[in-house]
Amino acid sequence: MLRAFSHTNGRCAFHQAKRWHHRKSVLAIRREDVNAWERRAPLAPKHVKELTQMGYKVLVQPSNRRAFHEKDYIKAGGIIQEDISEASLIVGVKRPPEDKLIPKKNYAFFSHTIKAQEANMPLLDEILRQEIRLFDYEKMVDHKGMRVVAFGKWAGVAGMINILHGLGLRFLALGHHTPFMHIGMAHNYRNSSQAVQAVRDAGYEISLGLMPKSVGPLTFVFTGTGNVSKGAQEMFNALPCEFVEPHELKEVSRSGDLRKVYGTVLSRHHHLVRKRDGLYDPVDYDKHPEHYTSRFNTDIAPYTTCLINGIYWEQHTPRLLSRQDAQKLLVPVKSASGPTEGCPELPHKLLAICDISADTGGSIEFMTECTTIDSPFCMYDADQHIIHDSVEGSGILMCSIDNLPAQLPIEATEYFGDMLFPYIEEMLVSEGSEPLESQNYSPVVRDAVIASNGSLTAKYEYIQKLRESREYAQSLKMGNKKRVLLLGSGYVSGPVLEYLTRDSNIDITVASVMKEQLEQLTKKYSNVTSVHMDVIKHEEKLSSLVKKHDLVISLLPYSAHPLVAKKCIDNKVNLVTASYLTPAMKELQESVEAAGITVISEMGLDPGLDHMLAMECIDKAKEVGATVVSYTSFCGGLPAPEHSDNPLRYKFSWSPQGVLLNTVQSATYLKNGEVINIPAGGALLDSVTPMDFFPGLNLEGFPNRDSTKYAEPYGIQTAHTLLRGTLRYKGYSKTMCGFVKLGLINPDPYPLLSSTTPPLTWKELMCKLVGIKPPAEYHVLKEAVFSKLEKDKSQLEAVEWLGLLGDEPVPAADSIVGALAKHMEMKLPFGAGERDMIVMRNEIGLRHPSGHLEDKFIDLVVYGDNKGYSAMAKTVGYPTAIAAKMILDGEIDAKGMVIPLTKNVYGPILERVRAEGIVYSTHSVIKQ
């Protein structure tokens, strides 16, 4: 390297060991030529003077529009010339025209490409084609993520001046002369000091009581606490103002002093609340902003005269105001005193919005296009949803200029240059044609490199994905909305619906036999409609529903999936399930392929995330030439330890019948090269093993179904051990074994429990199961049950605890296990404030080409939310919803039966579930 540098407060101070090299480095300040009002520069003459004194050559493209005169740059040592091709670093404020770009140079400017802004994608394409290294000021941030190079303060100052001028015009249009009429647009002042004086003069008149009484107290709300908001407040302070807390706004807006104006600064905690409990948690909000909503429209906006918005909006975060909010806020205010013709009342409280963020379609949903310095104001009519260029008529006055600092160009340039200057040297002494990896940039500079050497840098590769997503979304908008049919409204449906309804282009129909659950879902989600039906019993209606949709998600029991799949095949509709790809489903493979549809199975937790985590590890191992010698995976949905207070040590957060039936399934696994077969009927519970990887949880595990069948799809035929199992707290299996002995885990039809027959009590049913004639005395039945349980006291205690020897009616069901499932769902639910947890452990043994062994451990532990979704619902629902969205968006286009074993499927899903709080960890143990 030709230079070395040290860090001082996060900025780089370069050593001057190679001064001759520094003299060869040339910087150019390009001419701003995109907007007629752009009079700023990235560096002022004082910065050029420092650079030339350090031995650098500085070229300045001539421009009569620039606020600083050319002679000031010449005096500072700059060279005025058109040709800047000699420069290694070319700096500007705004983007250059594509045809003015010079290949393989370093460029620094605001590119407005990081959100894949459509208007600037041709520029980005040209930058990539010409192998230019692009530094974007917007992405120069410190270790806290705060921008270190910005015009923000001066956007706030200019924006505040402009909106005060605009209010003067708007008040006049409504019939009121006010002191604001004497305030001009920001660019009419030589500097901010002149503007401050004009605002003070207006404030003096206000303090004398010269505001019309019928206007009422004026309130200004500032959103955000950054430099933009601070700049606006700095100008606001020139008025006779009083800052109040947001909750005081209502009172001062009605009875405040007319000789002053009121302001409030709004932070997130003032208006953001979690949808499920009305609370605000800053850490949770940063992780899951989509779980929150804003109360600005009800708690703040009705008492606001003017909103000064300085916050940027990100996808999935709550907006401040929607069109519907604006319609409600523009309802005329009625006064008991009544207006007079010459002293009219204001039509509504909210008169003006100054959106300094200029974020179109952002936190102010109806701010769909920016205004300009030439035409700074427009009116938004919420009822007609139209914008007209005027300060008259109905609506809200809008000001949303996207280059506000250009109105105060000299101060803005000096301010910006002071912030940029400490980073200029390290950008300047590098060559754009050199590999990025060879540059010794500070983190602030390196993280601001959008493109280099013909490619997007790793941090900004997402831009291409955003482009593709937007283009696909646009193609969808040109057609009909995507229609999804969700079958089932149980525990898992919440996260599925929450995720999919984030996309307003998806309409969802939920079909379920649970009427109350359906009503709750349709109340919660606006783009969800419900159909109350028994899917299994109404095949024709099911077929008709499937036909009307683009995709079906089945959350029904796995036994119903073949029926649903057949309807999807008949109507050529894609299907997603979270359940195992059973033999009955596999039989439909050819029909699915012939129909040209996608049927995704095993897209939940287990099966689902267990596959994905395994395949991610296995694929990475194969990339380095390692072979898999063992694979063990255990997973369980459990109550959190503090809520495991019952004989089963278990509570239900998903299908109880599925949990019960899993204990009597057969199982097959491979252990040290030997295939072990466990017959169905309950023998599985004799194969329980203590699990000590989380000793504090006191877990046990038992095999689950046929583990050996995954050797081929996983590509791990080399493994001598292959075992997938279920986790429970110690004691669960023993209790379940007692139920098996009693014949309670029996899925065969049992007509006596039909809804058309006289109801049985549990006592009567137990008499039948143990072979004694009802009615029997309690102690007689208890002794018979105890005998059937082979004198196991803990198993008898569980039977008694559940009330299975009592007179409570047995729920109507098709089978005994179905009735027990319904009973357990009532007896073992999660109570208020209780939460469940998911525990998964994958252990993968690897043999490396060098011969050494490595044990790879992958842990996933997820807790449910006390008043939100259970861990089971999240870990099943979100992967299912993500897979469905990927099919709708064309990310998954494979036809036939699909399970998540390929990187193009599991990669995006694992990445996206992290954003939903489903986070796993890995560690390794190397053996010689």
User: Would you name the residues annotated as active-site residues?
Assistant: 606
Q: What is the CA radius of gyration of the chain?
A: 34
Mind giving me the DSSP string for 366-384?
A: T--S-B-SSS--EEEETTT
CA atoms within 13 A on the CB side of 928: 0
Residue 731 dihedral angles phi and psi, to the nearest 5°: 110, -20
Q: Which residues contact 31 (CB under 8 A, 6 or more apart)?
A: 61, 62, 63, 65, 66
Strands (E), 164-309: 219-223, 241-243, 261-266, 272-274, 292-294, 306-309
CA atoms within 13 A on the CB side of 144: 4
* 693 vs 674: CA distance, rounded Å: 24
Mind giving me the DSSP string for 130-179?
A: TT-EEEEGGG-B-TTS-BSS--HHHHHHHHHHHHHHHHHHHHHHTT---G
Q: 150 is written with which tokens?
A: 């910005």
Q: 104 is written with which tokens?
A: 């393989």
* 565 vs 267: CA distance, rounded Å: 50
What is the 8-class DSSP label of residue 296? I
CA atoms within 13 A on the CB side of 697: 21
What is the end-to-end Cα distance of the chain in Å, rounded?
39
* 406 vs 158: CA distance, rounded Å: 9
Three-state SS sequence of 749-805:
ECHHHCCCCCCCEHHHHHHHHHCCCCCCCHHHHHHHHHHHCCCCHHHHHHHHHCCCC
Order of all β-strands in the sheet with 241-243? 241-243, 261-266, 219-223, 306-309, 352-355, 396-399, 378-381, 386-388
Task: Give yes or no for a contact between 610 and 840, defined as CB atoms under 8 angstroms apart.
Answer: yes
Q: Which amino acid is at 138?
A: E
Which ranges in 208-265 belong to alpha helices (H)? 227-236, 249-255
Please, what is the angle between helix 409-428 and helix 152-173, to 10°? 150
Task: Give yes or no for a contact between 399 and 390, defined as CB atoms under 8 angstroms apart.
Answer: no
Handedness of CA 860, 865, 871, 877 (dihedral sign): negative
Q: How many Cβ atoms from other residues are within 10 Å of residue 754's Cβ?
A: 12
* 697 vs 708: CA distance, rounded Å: 28
Task: Give yes or no for a contact between 476 and 468, defined as CB atoms under 8 angstroms apart.
Answer: no
Task: Give yes or no for a contact between 271 and 246, defined as CB atoms under 8 angstroms apart.
Answer: yes
Task: Give yes or no for a contact between 915 and 845, defined as CB atoms under 8 angstroms apart.
Answer: no
CA 283 to each of CA 280, 286, 686, 917: distance values in angstroms, whole numbers, following the listed order:
9, 5, 45, 12
Residue 10, phi-psi category: left (phi > 0), alpha (psi -120 to 50), beta (remainder): left
559-564: long-range contacts, CB 8 A cutoff, minimum separation 24? 560/487, 560/535, 560/536, 561/585, 561/601, 562/587, 562/588, 563/535, 563/536, 563/539, 564/487, 564/535
Determine the 3-state secondary structure of 630 from DSSP.
Answer: strand
Please, what is the angle between helix 903-914 and helix 609-623, to 10°? 120
